[in-house]
């Protein structure tokens, strides 16, 4: 196949020379576990979240799980979550022994519908866990007042939304804590990795204990903890990626702008007022046979993704649970219709045009 016709993947994670050199530098130093690189990564990432305390861990899921543990969420408690998300969002709630209660999403943002959140609150509710899905911030300006009215904690799942903002305020800074993932396909990565951002110094200290066997000083264990530390090798890669994040975010936005102006056969993603979207995914709605459209695009050399074909409340571990209360019509509709197009930073103008031509030429789209 000639280069021009190589298939375009749905995502293209970057492991460039800078990342490789950073990893080799740390490996050669012989000091590979959590150390100075992790500390520097935390300090540098703090700039993305308005100077909040940052605690690095080994994944986004660990970040969510540790946060809920650190906030004292546990058995008997309910946490309001969207069902239209990656399973990690609800897994974290179950892992601490609490019950995820599923609320519906808004049609436009694909994020939690504040009215549905308010309706889901019971006497057992202790927290709300909004997800900034695809890089679009959830309606935090409406969700925070609900939390305040009921005295609930808020943990933001910002795993797809590094540096997204709402009315100029970065995601991860609205609630008690914000959780980020550095999985390879995310807007930036550290191979695997995660970060908690919080304005609460006590919570930050508890998280530091929880990630390291309950110790700050070696063998002076204060509480029961796990080992969810990030390595210095991963942190060095994360630091290199963080330096490139502003440029990559600009590129994702430019690609999205091109698609907004060019795509005619599908519904492009609306952006709410005051929203600074970071386009982890560029997700359109197909009002027809979505899977046939994906197949047709694949044949035309355009990779796509469906995030997520099955809402969490219909996955086996959750479907018969007490947190499934009534219908989630917008969640179901999104699961049937969504299709994410390639939007990764290194797409070329020729690739963007090929994607647009292919999408606009799709026959099965209604
Ligand atoms: C990726 C992701 C997670 C989990 O992050 P990992 O680093 O893969 O553990 C959690 N929530 C959402 C919405 C995600 O996209």
Encode pLDDT of 96-142 as tens digits.
999 999 999 999 999 999 999 999 999 999 999 999 999 999 999 99
Active-site option among 136, 186, 252, 313: 186
Three-class HEC string of the chain: CCHHHCCECCCCCCCCHHHHHHHHHHHHHCCCCCCHHHHHHHHHHHHHHCCCEEEEECCHHHHHHHHHHHCCCCCCCEEEEECCCCCHHHHHHHHCCCEEEEECECCCCCCECHHHHHHHCCCCEEEECCECHHHCCCCHHHHHHHHHHHCCEEEEECCCCCCCEECCEECCCCCCEEEEECCCCCCCCCCCCEEEEECCHHHHHHHHHHCECCCCCCCCCCCCCCECCCCHHHHHHHHHHHHHHHHHHHHHHHHHHHHHHHCCCCECCCCCCCEECCCCCEEEECCCCHHHHHHHHHHCCECCECCCCCCHHHCCCCCCCCCCCCCCHHHHHHHHHEEEECCCCCCCHHHHHHHHHHHHHCCCCC
Same domain? 58 vs 99? yes
* Domain contains 335: yes
Q: Say if residue 218 is in the same domain as residue 262.
A: no
- If you measure from the C-alpha of residue 38 to the centroid of ligand 1, how many angstroms do you get, rounded to a whole number? 20
pLDDT of amino acid 272: 85
Atom of ligand 1 at shortest range from CA of 280: 15
User: Which of 158, 181, 186 has the most ligand 1 atoms within 8 A of CB, as the residue to mutate?
Assistant: 181
Domain termination site, one of 184, 212, 239: 239
From the CA of 134, how far away is ligand 1's center (Å)? 11
Domain boundary among 239, 262, 285: 239
In a domain, 253, yes or no: yes
Residue 121 lies in a domain: yes
Span 247-270, pLDDT tens digits: 999 999 999 999 999 999 899 999
Residues 211 and 101 in one domain: yes
Are 217 and 109 in a shared domain? yes
Same domain, 162 and 260: no
Ligand 1 site residues, Cβ closer than 6 angstroms = 59-61, 85-86, 88-89, 131, 157, 159-160, 181, 183, 194
9 is a domain residue: no
Determine the pLDDT at residue 261.
98
The domain that contains 334 carries what CATH number? 3.90.1150.10
* 324, pLDDT greater than 70: yes
User: Would you say residue 342 lies in a domain?
Assistant: yes
User: Is residue 2 in a domain?
Assistant: no
**Same-domain pairing of 215 and 291:** no
How much of the chain exceeds pLDDT 90, in percent? 95
- Residue from 130, 157, 180, 188 whose mutation best tests the ligand 1 pocket (most atoms within 8 A of CB): 157
Does residue 104 belong to any structural domain of this protein? yes
Specify the ligand 1 atom closest to the Cα of 132: 13
Predicted confidence at residue 2, as pLDDT, reads 42
What pLDDT score does 68 carry? Answer: 98
- Tens of pLDDT, residue by residue over 22-57, are 999 999 999 999 999 999 999 999 999 999 999 999
Q: Which of 217, 239, 261 is the last residue of a domain?
A: 239
Residue with CA closest to ligand 1 atom 5:
60
| One domain, residues 170 and 255 | no
| Mean pLDDT calculated for residue range 162-168 | 98
CATH of the domain at 235: 3.40.640.10
Ligand 1 atom closest to the Cα of residue 89 is 11
- What is the span of the domain harbouring residue 48? 17-239
pLDDT of residue 353: 98
Residues 85 and 187 in one domain: yes
**In the predicted model, what is the mean pLDDT of residues 198-223?**
96
350 and 205 in one domain?
Answer: no
**Active site (annotated) includes residue 257:** no
- Nearest atom within ligand 1 for CA of residue 186: 1
Query: Taking 60 as the threshold, does the pLDDT of residue 201 lie above it?
Result: yes
Same domain, 266 and 202: no
Count the domains in the chain: 2
Q: Would residue 144 count as lying in a domain?
A: yes
In this structure, are 149 and 182 located in the same domain? yes
Please, which pLDDT band fits residue 364 given cuts at 50, 70 and 90? low
Average pLDDT, the chain: 96
Q: Are residues 352 and 287 in the same domain?
A: yes
């Amino acid at each position: 196949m000639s280069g021009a016709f190589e298939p375009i993947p749905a995502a293209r994670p970057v492991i460039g020379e800078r990342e490789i050199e950073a990893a080799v530098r740390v490996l050669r130093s012989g000091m590979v576990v959590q150390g100075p690189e992790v500390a520097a990564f935390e300090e540098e990432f703090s700039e993305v979240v308005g100077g909040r305390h940052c605690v690095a861990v080994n994944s986004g899921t660990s970040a969510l799980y540790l946060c809920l543990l650190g906030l004292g969420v546990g058995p008997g408690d309910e946490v309001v979550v969207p069902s239209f998300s990656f399973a990690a969002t609800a897994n974290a709630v179950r892992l601490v022994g609490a019950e995820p209660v599923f609320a519906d999403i808004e049609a436009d943002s694909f994020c939690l519908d504040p009215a549905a959140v308010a309706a889901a609150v019971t006497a057992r509710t202790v927290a709300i866990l909004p997800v900034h899905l695809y890089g679009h911030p959830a309606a935090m300006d409406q969700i925070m007042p609900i939390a305040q009215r009921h005295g609930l904690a808020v943990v933001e799942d910002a795993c797809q939304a590094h540096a997204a903002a709402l009315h100029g305020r970065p995601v991860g800074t609205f609630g008690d804590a914000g959780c980020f993932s550095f999985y390879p396909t995310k807007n930036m990565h550290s191979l695997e990795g995660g970060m908690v951002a919080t304005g609460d110094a006590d919570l930050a200290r508890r998280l530091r204990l929880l990630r390291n066997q309950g110790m700050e000083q070696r063998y002076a264990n204060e509480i029961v903890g796990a080992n969810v530390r990030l390595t210095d090798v991963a942190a060095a890669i994360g630091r290199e990626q963080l330096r490139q994040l502003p440029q990559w975010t600009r590129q994702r936005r430019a690609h999205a702008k091109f698609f907004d102006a060019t795509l005619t056969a599908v519904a492009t993603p609306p952006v709410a007022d005051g929203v600074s979207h970071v386009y982890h995914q560029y997700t359109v709605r197909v009002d027809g046979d979505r899977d046939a459209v994906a197949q047709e695009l694949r044949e035309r050399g355009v990779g796509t993704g469906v995030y997520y074909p099955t809402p969490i409340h219909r996955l086996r571990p959750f479907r018969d649970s007490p947190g499934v209360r009534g219908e989630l019509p917008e969640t179901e509709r999104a699961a049937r219709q969504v299709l994410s197009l390639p939007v990764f930073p290194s797409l070329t103008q020729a690739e963007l045009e090929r994607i647009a031509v292919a999408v606009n030429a799709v026959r099965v789209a209604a």
